[in-house]
Chains A and B, each alone.
Chain A
Amino acid sequence: MKNITKALFLAVIGAGLIAPVQAEEVHMIMCGGEIREADQAVISAFESKHSGVTVNAEAVPWGTCQDKSMTLAAAGDPVGLAYMGSRTLKQLARSGLIIPVDISDEQQGMYQPGILNTVTDGGKTWGFPHAFSTKALFINCGLVEEAGMACVAPKTWAGMYNMAKAINDNTSAAGVGLAAKDFDNTMHQFLNYLYSNGGSVSNADTGEITFNSPETVETLEFVGKLAGVAQEGPSGYERSQLTQLYNDGQIGMYINGPWGAGQHNDNIAEIVVPIPAGPSGESGTLLITDSIAVFKGSANEDLAMELASMLSSGEAQYDLDMSWGLTPIMQYEKMMDDVYYTTDYWKVFVDPIGSGGPEPMFEDFKALQAGINSAIQGIILGEGSAADLVAEAAETLAEGL
């Protein structure tokens, strides 16, 4: 019995060592459960351009895909290119696992303001921006009117709080949906408020942490106040669960991205408004990008770079943004006449781009997330003053920069 085991064992090792000679292959990982049609079209075009080259495009669910790309690269088996959240770029760059990309000046000029900040570190660009989102506030008019108020956009935090309180007191629903679970979108939600209050996390040029500021403390206090008119137990919810609550008519409003309209039930009459402004700033929003990174030392680095560039340039990118329903990543109106984002709905997501802030680029982005989320949970669970929590978070962030 054991002899058979040994033989099998040796056979497996032997098979692993004999590398089969194949046609050139470019291995690509796409985060998200599927490969978008627009991307697939580019891939096919690429394959016909380079005969003998096949693209192995693998779709991996978000829960595991970033880790997968990163561990493969760390173990010396990198894929050619991967489409992932831009927040991973700094760590990959600093660890020497990806190579800087060259984006033509012309294309650089096309991007919406602030986009390039999300992929730049140390003066170099590390990924091709490939998907973009901004956020806005979705409000359930049915609940607002039931609470006895007019369904108009609240312009300030005070207005938003009053509307939420009215809903909370006069209907069986909670006023606002607040996410506080240790998830990335909890941090994102907070940053939306922060950027609408003139706050910031770090200074991209100097690398200094600017998180510990009066604006941030104000923002955190506001979040604490919101918890009083939010659904019960915010620490147990992240954004997709808030969507469920919203659909069930249990919360009056919450922050979501442009895909929100598609997620909400048809029977909910809603309006979409810009994030209300805090006392110390203007209405802003959070700019998040996903980008395509090219890994160092993969089998066909040049081909991977070329494919990455093709996937994210001009027309191809437009097709993707439009078909997927994303906030336009470039100012396409400079390039073509008939763009898809001229409706009122889209205005809410496109207009604030100029005054929005980026998702901060941190090497240890888990520390960024942990620090901010800890502060949020702290104020909700009543474990300290806003000032103390912000200071504590700033310390954690400083370690992760």
Chain B
Amino acid sequence: MDKYTFLQKIGIYSSLALFILFMLLPFVEMFIASLRPLTHLFSRPDVPVGETMTFMDFMSRFYSDKMSFQAYRDMWVTVPQLPRYIFNSVFLSTAVTFFSMCFIVPAAYAYARFDFRGKTTSLTLFLAVNMFSGAVLLIPLYKLLRVYGLLNTYWAMIIPGVAFLIPTGIWLLKSFLEKIPYELEEAAFVDGASRLYTLRRVILPLAVPGLIVVGVAMFIGAYAQQFLFAITFNQDRDYMPLPAGIFEFIGYQDVLWNEMMAASLVGILPVLLIFLFMQKHLIAGLTSGAVKE
């Protein structure tokens, strides 16, 4: 059943290749753009009047003898705070993930295990929060943060981030926790353990795959939505995360596209690495959904 014919194999591999090409195309282009000097960045293949572009013309856009890694060196000079921005991005995402999980885990456990008054209502309300993006609430949030004096601090970006991730996190973790068989808890109760003890020593270890999955999902979510909160609630350059910092490559007259692309690629490297490291656990966590009896 698991064997494929040769034709089927070709089909699978080539479809996969196309799929991955689609996923990675922008990055390939960004990389090539980052290698070109600014003057050659905006040229299109030279096609004389009355003729059409040939394959060689097309390929010429990928390679030019002026290519170099110069942009990767220059970008640190153009935007001196670049390392800081990269650090900020990772720091903010980690902080948001950490705080979110503190709120999510107990709540998800409660929803997964107990039946209590106001359960469905509160759950639906949490889901309802997903229904509007942060973009909609920016103005009142700005006022709120200002009243508490939290503008232009790390908190300005962490707090909204946490608030908007919690509902998704609860929903995701809840479905994982529901799959842990109740018999295990029952056995612990029979032995006289308290609820808190059960949570800590029995459930948590089993929930680790689910926790990892949700944690990673939260991290990625935090990383993706930093931008909006950063540009609205924070004016202090020292606290800016990477996507907002990238905007500094847009100067008065020119946009330093090649350095911008280089900075983007370098900036996302830490997260990509973290992900590569975690992906085994991530997939394992997701696919271990079926807890065998």
Contact = CB atoms under 8 A, between A and B. Distances in A.
Interface string B249-264: 0111111000000000
B247 A61 contact: yes
Interface residues of B, number: 28
Given A12-B150, A75-B142, A245-B42, A63 B247 contact: yes
A1 interface: yes
B48 interface: yes
A13 B47 contact: no
B48 A172 contact: yes
A263 B253 contact: yes
Contacts of A16: 148-150
B99 interface: yes
A33 interface: yes
A276 B155 CA distance: 55
A68 B146 CA distance: 14
A371 B288 CA distance: 56
A39 B68 CA distance: 37
A17 interface: yes
Given A13-B149, A17-B149, A64-B247, A248 B43 contact: yes
A240 B150 contact: no
27 contacts: A5-B99, A5-B102, A12-B153, A13-B150, A17-B149, A32-B252, A33-B248, A61-B247, A61-B248, A61-B250, A61-B252, A62-B250, A62-B252, A77-B146, A172-B46, A172-B47, A172-B48, A240-B254, A241-B42, A244-B42, A245-B42, A247-B42, A248-B42, A248-B43, A250-B44, A259-B253, A263-B254
Contacts of A2: 102
Contacts of A61: 247-248, 250-252
B235 interface: yes
Interface of B: 39, 42-44, 46-49, 99, 102, 142-143, 146, 148-150, 153, 155, 231, 235, 247-248, 250-255
Nearest to A31: B252
A210 interface: no
Nearest to A75: B146
Contacts of A250: 44
A265 interface: yes
A235 interface: no
A355 interface: no
A170 B50 CA distance: 9
Contacts of B231: 64
Interface string A308-336: 00000000000000000000000000000
Interface string A69-83: 001100111000000
B196 to A, nearest CB: 15
Nearest to B155: A12
A91 interface: no
B39 A265 contact: yes
A1 B250 contact: no
Closest 7 CB pairs of A and B: A16-B149, A244-B42, A172-B49, A32-B252, A248-B43, A33-B251, A33-B252
Contacts of A245: 42
Contacts of B251: 33, 61
Contacts of A54: none
Interface string A21-64: 00000000000111000000000000000000000000001111
A153 B149 CA distance: 59
A300 interface: no
Contact of B39 (A32, A68, A240, A247): A247
A9 B148 CA distance: 10
A5 B254 CA distance: 44
Interface string A363-391: 00000000000000000000000000000
Contacts of B49: 170-172
Nearest to B159: A9
